[in-house]
Amino acid sequence: MMSIIHNLSLAVLIVIAFSCYNSILATPAPSKQSEASALLYSGWWSPSVAENTTIPHCAWPGVLCDASGSIDGIHLPYGYQIGGNLMNLTNLDLRGNQLCGSIPLEIGNLMSLIHLNLGRNQLSGSIPPEIGNLRSLSYLYFGGNQLGGSIPPEIGNLRSLIDLYLGGNQLGGSIPLEIGNLRSLTDLFLEGNQLENQLDGSIPPEIGNLRSLTYLYLGGNQLGGSIPPEIGNLRNLTCLYLRGNQLGGSIPPEIGNLRSLTILHLEENQLGGSIPQEIGNLTSLINLYLQENQLGGSIPPEIGNLTSLIHLYLQENKLSGSIPPEIGNLTSLIQLYLQENKLNGSIPSEIENLTSLIHLYLQENKLVGSIPLEIGNLTSLTYLILQGNQLSGSIPPGIGNLKSLTYLDMQGNQVGGSISPEIGNLRNLNYFHLQGNRLDGSIPPEIGNLMSLTYLYSQGNKLSGSIPLEIGNLRGLTLLYLQGNQLGGSIPLEIWNLMSLTYLDLQGNKLGGSIPSEIGNLRSLTYLNLQGNQLGGSIPSEIGNLRSLTYLNLQENQLDLDLHNNSLFGSIFIFTIFSYLNHLNLSYNRLKGPIPNNLRVVFPNAFLGNQDLNQFHKTQDPRRRIAYEDIIDATEDFDLKHCIGTGGYGSVYRTRLPNGKVVALKKLHRLEVEDSSFDESFRNEVKHLTEVRHISIIKLHDFCLHKRCMFLVYEYMENGSLFDTAHALSYMHNDCARPIVHRDISSNNILLNSKMQAFVLDFGTARLLDHNSSSNFTTNMDGTYGYIAPKLAYTLAVDVKCEVYSFGVVTMETVMGEHPGDIISILLTSSGKDIMLHKILDWRLPFPRENSVARSIV
């Protein structure tokens, strides 16, 4: 009996198929007792339920029984799992239970099933053809799994089927012709997306047999061919989704037979031809989506019959002709998208009837004429986009009635006249695009009423007068583009109070006066272009507060800046922001003095046309100047074949410059360049090398200090690593105004030239000591392990004694020929007490002949 019960339990579909175990299904005829036993032994109910003999199995959660006590249904909530060999089962709903594995072939034995829902699980494999045995099935839901393969043609046997949901899987292949046998079907969902179904082939004409169909979802697949005219037989259809396939050909005129249709999605295909006039028969239509196809011809006037239409999307096609005046009949329309076609003619005045319209997109067509006065009646509009047409005339005053407007784009037309003061009524406006028109006159002071404005584009017009003071009210403004006009007067001080401003472009006007110190208030500014005006005076040092600036163009003005007696760490503003700039141009002003090295290297064309400006730093011979381009060419853009070493901060390259000089070039690693702490280290090295003067400290020829590329150009030492240099350290520790500790003295940071003279390099971790300060403590263990003084590890106090320890290690390494740490383990053993001197000395060195020398070494 126990074996029979075991087999009964294994026969439970859910236990076998959906608990991710492999078993064999047996199906002897069940009794009420065997059904209850199967539930008990399935293990899918908690012991508190299964072991409570006072609770009949028909009262267990999710179990449904008929009047005779036989189980005929299992309906579980999300997350609950159950099983059993229940041959009278009519209803099996296991959606959303994280079930895995494949659907077993034995599912075809549950011939009483009417409702089968395995949706939203993790089922894989293919749909077994045995599914065709479930001839009583009315509802089949396999959607939202990972099922693959093709739809089995046996599905055509399910002639009682009403709902078929297979969407959201990974099904491929064609839609089987046998689907046309499902004449009772009302809902057919085979929709997918990029990661889901990929059905190909064409839509079978047999689909026209499904005359009871109300919902047909085939979108998001790879269906090709044309839409079969037989689709016109589906007169009960309310929703047709064919979007996102590869359907070609024309829209069949038979589509006009679908008079019950409310939603039509044909977008994102390759449909051509024209929009059939029969589409005007679909008077129940609410949503019409035909965008992103290749539809041509004109918009049929019959579209005006679709008076229930709310959404009309025809954008990104090849539609031509004019917008039919019948469009004014669509008084329920909320969204009208006609952009990116080839529509011509004028905007019909009948558009004033669309008083429910929220979005009107007409951009990138060939529309002409004036913007109709009646557009002021569309008081519900939030988006009005007319860009890229050939509209002329002036901005109608009625546009001030559109008080809900948040986005107004008229750019790239031929609109003239002045900006009407009524524009100040648009207090909800966020985006205002007027660029590339023929607007003249002054900017109305009412512009200051647009307190919600974040983007203002008015460049490329003929605006004149001064910039109104009221523009300072636009505290939320992040982008202000007024370039390419004829604006005069001074830049109002109020503009420098727009703290949110990130882009400011006033290029190519007639602005005069000076740049005030208040420019330093714009700390969020990343882009500043004042080129081609008549600005004078000096460049204020407060511009150095603009630490986010990446683009600065002040060329073609009359600005003054004296660059004399400044260096990398001088007071000139540019050094504060230098590391962030991608573009700098101060050409054709009245600058004078020498160009600092770092600016000249990174921005070689930034200072043209300044007659009193020296092209070279006063301390540098122009004949020996190193150009940034020469470095790039000589290293072949830092090709690895020129690399002679890599360290913690960067790589060293050996290269020959055009003048024949061989140099060593230290370039920071990319990650280090992007790290602000490494930027500080780089600055330290440049600073100390420019201040230190000693024969035993390596000479710095040039440098590039920029966030995109940081490198130092050193004198090349051809004899590699050194093991001795006390003079340089003594100078740094004792002869500088404030002692300098290198903090990374090791054999790798001491080089020899051709005469075997020693030089110290790599000042990336150097620090100036202040004997009266507590700031000599460090939080970082800088240096090379094996050379760091043990004292530093537990005190974190930096002093010259730590450096002396490192130098001692280098000295021992010199005479031993290896790092002294390598023999510490030997010295600590008993055998180490009697170790011979020749075991310690570098075998390449001659053995000392005098005992006093030997004793000194020991």
List residues forming the annotated binding site for ATP: 666
The neighbour count for residue 56, using CB atoms within 10 Å, is 12
Helix (H) or strand (E) holding 91: strand 91-93
Q: Is 40 helix (H, G, I), strand (E, B) or coil?
A: helix
Cβ atoms of residues 499 and 474 within 8 Å: no
Query: What token pair was written down for 492?
Result: 């109002």
- In the block, tokens 């910039």 appear at 467
On the 0-12 / 13-18 / 19+ scale of CB atoms within 10 A, 738 is exposed
Sign of CA dihedral 82, 85, 87, 88: negative
Torsions phi, psi for 619 (to 5 deg)? -90, 0
The long-range contacts involving 367-372, CB below 8 angstroms and separated by at least 24 positions, are 367/323, 367/343, 367/391, 368/344, 368/392, 369/345, 369/393, 370/346, 370/394, 370/396, 371/347, 371/395, 371/396, 371/399, 371/410, 371/415, 372/346, 372/347, 372/348, 372/396
Non-local CB neighbours of 696 within 8 Å, separated by 6+ positions: 725, 727, 728, 731, 757, 758, 759, 760
Torsions phi, psi for 575 (to 5 deg)? -70, -25
The residue count of the chain comes to: 858
CA atoms within 13 A of residue 652's CA, in its CB half-sphere = 19
DSSP 398: G
Distance, in Å, from the CA atom of 629 to the CA atom of 267, rounded to the nearest integer, reads 51
Query: What token pair was written down for 515?
Result: 């740049």
SS3 string of 97-119?
CCCEEECCHHHHHCCCCCEEECC
Query: Cα dist. 817→720, 810, 821, 838, 844 in Å?
Result: 15, 10, 12, 12, 8
Active site residues: 744
SS3 string of 408-454?
EECCCCCCEECCCHHHHHCCCCCEEECCCCEECCECCHHHHHCCCCC
Q: What is the dihedral of CA 121, 127, 132, 137, to 10 degrees?
A: 10
The neighbour count for residue 195, using CB atoms within 10 Å, is 9
Distance, in Å, from the CA atom of 142 to the CA atom of 151, rounded to the nearest integer, reads 11
Cβ atoms of residues 392 and 370 within 8 Å: yes
Query: Cα dist. 184→93, 139, 160, 326, 620 in Å?
Result: 22, 11, 6, 39, 92
Cβ atoms of residues 328 and 355 within 8 Å: no
Beta partners for residue 504, in sequence order: 480, 528
Distance, in Å, from the CA atom of 799 to the CA atom of 743, rounded to the nearest integer, reads 9
